[in-house]
């Protein structure tokens, strides 16, 4: 295969999702000559099949709930239903605007963009569209796809993935969601808002099982109140078609029936058949193995994003891509503290966190060295106005820094920025307590929680 490129690029990136395009933008900004290869659309899963479209659906669901419940606020409305085609147009318009903006950014930074299915052909080259694109360094950023289970065939008809759910041409009357993690509870929440009868099946003992157990219990309480059903602690056995839907059988013999089954058990890396193993790149269960600086075992190859076994979050991909670009440009780089990454599940109510759980803190520091405090949003004026319930839970090393912030409630994702600073700057409760938080805001609840943890509560009991 001929090398048709007139130059050897400083960086060749395979994959134009969050990690890949962030590396391209930052690399070009730092003077690197960058080639970016993407087989589908620039922006990857996050923009087209993940973060952005799901949040658009959730916001449409929020509007539907507000229309139903407006009389609580003295506003007279009539809810007439969901126009799913109009919802999709709204969602697609959001995606389209961001997509055009991203295309403009890539062009403005003079990144060489190549559309096509690339394959790693050597430690310093990628083959695409009959050409061999050479680089001094190659970054693998090929992302992820929805996973399934052995014997469970996602057919796009009655048994669907999140990709199918984002373009579903109707609001299902009933749905089973297999998986109570981020993807599962977000779709369960949106569909319930649209009027679907939803049941979530989670094999572990709690919804959003990687979160602090208190957050999981608060979400479960809220879902019960909303009428979202769930079955916890028993694993999936099989799924089969019924006359007009799907039947799911669990390991204990319990069965559930619905119009459709959404398989939301997570996402797996896209690495098979792309030449990685042939070029000696170490993998583990399909993930590319990297060190703390995103370097693979091959000196000229790095990897980022969902392809590596770190948090599958777009903003993690951004950070990892930037880290690689800056390292290659000769800047001093610092490894990412993944505990310090903000995490938000955008269901209703939202679940947000930074840092470690209380259980993890006790494991690391010892149970007698950990202090936990819960601040109920019932004491927060703005949350009362919004009619949202929930808590902010702080986890502190005794007489030391706050090592975990865990929040449940509407709009708590908007409070995670300050939580990130508190964790990453190793703030003491007294240091946060002396800051003045605007009243009335939900952000004020963060200040109140730290006031209480510092021993001087204001709008909360001792």
CB 197 within 8 A of CB 387: no
SS3 content of the chain, % helix, strand, coil (to 5): 35, 25, 40
Catalytic residue among 59, 439, 450, 459: 439
C-alpha distance from residue 405 to each of 163, 208, 377 (Å):
31, 16, 14
Q: Which helix (H) or strand (E) holds 104?
A: helix 84-108
Cis peptide before 453 (omega within 30 of 0): no
Burial of 100 (C-beta count, 10 Å sphere; 0-12/13-18/19+): exposed
The answer to whether residues 178 and 188 touch, using CB atoms and an 8 Å cutoff, is no
The residues, any chain, with a CB within 8 Å of residue 5's CB and separated by 6 or more, are: 35, 131, 132, 133, 134
Q: How many residues does the chain have?
A: 462
Asked if 439 is an active-site residue, the reply is: yes
Q: Is the peptide bond before 349 cis (omega within 30 degrees of 0)?
A: yes
CA distance 369 to 361: 9
The residues annotated with a catalytic role in the active site are: 439
């Amino acid at each position: 295969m001929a090398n048709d490129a007139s130059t050897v690029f400083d960086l060749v990136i395979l994959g134009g999702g969050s990690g890949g395009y962030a590396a391209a933008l930052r690399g070009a900004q730092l003077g690197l000559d960058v080639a970016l290869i993407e087989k589908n659309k620039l922006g990857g899963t996050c923009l087209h099949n993940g973060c952005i479209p799901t949040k658009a659906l959730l916001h449409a669901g929020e509007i539907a709930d507000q229309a139903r419940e407006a009389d609580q606020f003295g506003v007279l409305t009539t809810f007439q239903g969901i126009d799913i085609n109009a919802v999709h147009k709204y969602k697609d318009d959001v995606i389209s605007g961001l997509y055009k903006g991203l295309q403009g950014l890539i062009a403005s930074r003079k990144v060489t963009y190549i559309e096509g299915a690339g394959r790693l052909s050597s430690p310093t080259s990628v083959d695409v569209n009959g050409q061999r694109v050479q680089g001094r360094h190659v970054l693998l950023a090929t992302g992820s796809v929805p996973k399934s289970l052995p014997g469970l065939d996602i057919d796009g008809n009655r048994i669907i993935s999140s990709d199918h759910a984002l373009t579903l041409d109707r609001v299902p009357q009933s749905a089973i969601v297999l998986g109570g993690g981020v993807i599962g509870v977000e779709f369960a929440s949106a569909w319930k808002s649209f009027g679907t009868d939803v049941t979530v099946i989670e094999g572990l003992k709690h919804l959003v099982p990687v979160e602090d157990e208190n957050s999981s219990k608060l979400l479960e309480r809220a879902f019960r109140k909303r009428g979202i059903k769930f079955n916890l602690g028993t694993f999936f056995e099989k799924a089969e078609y019924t006359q007009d839907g799907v039947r799911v059988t669990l390991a204990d013999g319990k069965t559930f029936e619905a119009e459709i089954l959404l398989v939301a058990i997570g996402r797996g890396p896209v690495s098979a058949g792309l030449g990685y193993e042939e070029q000696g790149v170490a993998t583990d269960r399909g993930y590319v193995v990297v060190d703390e600086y995103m370097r693979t075992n091959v000196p000229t190859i790095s990897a980022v994003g969902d392809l590596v076994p770190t948090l599958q979050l777009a903003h993690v991909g951004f950070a990892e891509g930037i880290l690689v670009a800056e390292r290659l440009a000769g800047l001093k780089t610092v490894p990412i503290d993944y505990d310090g990454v903000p995490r938000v599940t955008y269901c209703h109510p939202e679940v947000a966190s930074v840092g470690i759980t209380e259980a993890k803190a006790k494991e690391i520091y010892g149970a007698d060295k950990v202090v936990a405090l819960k601040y109920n949003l019932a004491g927060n004026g703005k949350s009362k106005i919004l009619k949202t319930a929930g808590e902010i839970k702080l986890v502190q090393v005794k007489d030391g820094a706050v090592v975990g912030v865990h929040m449940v409630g509407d709009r708590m994702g908007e409070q995670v920025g300050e939580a990130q600073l508190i964790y990453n700057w190793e703030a003491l409760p007294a240091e946060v307590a002396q800051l003045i938080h605007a009243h009335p805001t939900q952000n004020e609840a963060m200040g109140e929680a730290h006031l209480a943890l510092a021993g001087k509560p204001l709008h909360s009991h001792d």
